[in-house]
Structure 1
Amino acid sequence: MHPAAIAAALAGIALFVALGTWQVRRAHEKEALFAAFEGAARQAPVSLEQARREAGVRYPAVESTGHFDPARAYVLDNQVRDGRPGVIVYDVFEPSSGGPAMLVARGFLARDARGRLPTIPPPPQGAQTVRALYAPPPGSGLRLGGNALPRQSDWPKTTIYLDLDEVAADLGRPLDARVLLQLPGDEVSTFVREWKPDVFPPERHYAYAFTWYTFAAVVAATFFILHRPSRRTRPEEPR
Structure 2
Amino acid sequence: MFALANWQLQRGLDKAQRMQSIDSASNSASYSLETLLARNQDIQDLPISFSGSINPQHVFLLDNRIKQGRPGFDVYVIAQSDTHYVLVNFGWVAGKQMRDDLPEVSLPDRLNDAQGRIVLPSDNPMVTETATHDALWPKVIQQIDIQFIEQVLHAEVLPFVITLTQSNEQFIRDWQPVVMPPEKHYAYAVQWLGLGIAAFFVYFFALRARLRSGLKKGSHEQDE
State whether TM-score is above 0.5. Answer: yes
Which one of the candidate residues 156, 160, 164 is aligned to 2:146?
A: 164
Q: How many angstroms does 1:49 deviate by? A: 1.6
Q: 1:21–1:209: 8 Å Cα contact kept in structure 2?
A: no
Q: What is the alpha-carbon root mean square deviation over aligned residues? A: 3.0
How many angstroms apart in 1 are the aligned matches of 2:35 and 2:87?
18
How many angstroms apart in 2 are the aligned matches of 1:18 and 1:118?
44
Trace 1:1-239 onto structure 2 (pairs within 5 A). Answer: 16-17=1-2, 19-37=4-22, 40-41=25-26, 43-54=28-39, 55-56=41-42, 58-96=44-82, 98=83, 100-112=84-96, 118-122=103-107, 124-126=108-110, 128-144=112-128, 148-151=131-134, 153-185=135-167, 188-197=168-177, 202=182, 203-204=184-185, 206-224=187-205, 227=208
Q: How many angstroms does 1:149 deviate by? A: 2.6
Label 1:84 to 1:31 Cα distance change in 2 as closer, same or farther (>3 A): farther
- Aligned residue in 2 for 1:234: none
Q: 2:5–2:188: 8 Å Cα contact kept in structure 1?
A: no
Label 1:18 to 1:170 Cα distance change in 2 as closer, same or farther (>3 A): closer
Q: 1:66–1:128: 8 Å Cα contact kept in structure 2?
A: yes
Q: 1:140–1:163: 8 Å Cα contact kept in structure 2?
A: no
Label 1:41 to 1:110 Cα distance change in 2 as closer, same or farther (>3 A): farther
Q: 2:49–2:116: 8 Å Cα contact kept in structure 1?
A: yes
User: How far does the alpha carbon of each residue in 1:153-202 deviate from its partner, in whole angstroms, 9 at most, with x for none?
Assistant: 222211112210110111011100111001124xx422111122377653
Label 1:84 to 1:19 Cα distance change in 2 as closer, same or farther (>3 A): same
How many angstroms apart in 1 are the aligned matches of 2:121 and 2:206?
51
User: How far does the alpha carbon of each residue in 1:130-155 deviate from its partner, in whole angstroms, 9 at most, with x for none?
Assistant: 211111124344133x562313x222
- Aligned residue in 1 for 2:217: none
How many angstroms apart in 2 are the aligned matches of 1:218 and 1:126?
60
Q: 1:73–1:89: 8 Å Cα contact kept in structure 2?
A: yes
Q: How many angstroms does 1:38 deviate by? A: 5.9
- Taking structure 1 as the reference length, the TM-score comes to 0.73
Label 1:155 to 1:22 Cα distance change in 2 as closer, same or farther (>3 A): closer
Q: 1:90–1:105: 8 Å Cα contact kept in structure 2?
A: yes
Label 1:71 to 1:38 Cα distance change in 2 as closer, same or farther (>3 A): farther
How many angstroms apart in 2 are the aligned matches of 1:167 and 1:89?
14
- Taking structure 2 as the reference length, the TM-score comes to 0.77
Label 1:86 to 1:196 Cα distance change in 2 as closer, same or farther (>3 A): same
Q: 1:75–1:158: 8 Å Cα contact kept in structure 2?
A: yes
Q: How many angstroms does 1:204 deviate by? A: 4.6
Structure 1 alignment gaps of length 5 or more: 1-15, 231-239
Q: Which amino acid aligns with 1:27?
A: G
